[in-house]
Amino acid sequence: MRIWDLNPKSLCRLHLLGEHRELHAIWSILTKHKKGYSKHPETLRWQGKLKALYSRHTHQVREFNRRGYRHQSPLRKKLARGRARQNYYLTSLKNQRRLLKNKPCPCFQK
């Protein structure tokens, strides 16, 4: 599970869509109090920050639209509570960029 903390514009199709799926999984775990993956570090860092997770989703959707993708899985805004910013990173932004640059995909290759 991973929600990147980088601009969605820098993500290739594979990573953008994968992050979107994982964001919905984390949203579901946190809003429906599901147990599966509830102790995963990526899930834990979003506890109390559903407003920030909602914002990340909004940025993903904006990038979907820019690329001409259709988005059909909105989140319920009224559930977006807590902190509006994510200030805890599992991996530094510099390291996230490095990880993506070293993957065999077009992330950061433009």
Classify residue 46: in a domain, yes or no: yes
Total structural domains in the chain?
A: 1
Classify residue 3: in a domain, yes or no: no
CB 28 within 8 A of CB 46: no
77-105 pLDDT, tens per residue?
999 999 999 999 999 999 999 999 999 99
Classify residue 86: in a domain, yes or no: yes
Domain that holds residue 73: 8-101
The pTM is what?
Answer: 0.94
Taking CA atoms, 67 is separated from 8, 11, 16, 85, 106, in Å, by 11, 12, 11, 25, 15
Classify residue 107: in a domain, yes or no: no
Neighbours of 108 (CB within 10 A): 16
Classify residue 106: in a domain, yes or no: no
Tell me the mean pLDDT in the region 29-39: 95
Classify residue 63: in a domain, yes or no: yes
d(C-alpha 70, C-alpha 20), whole Å: 13
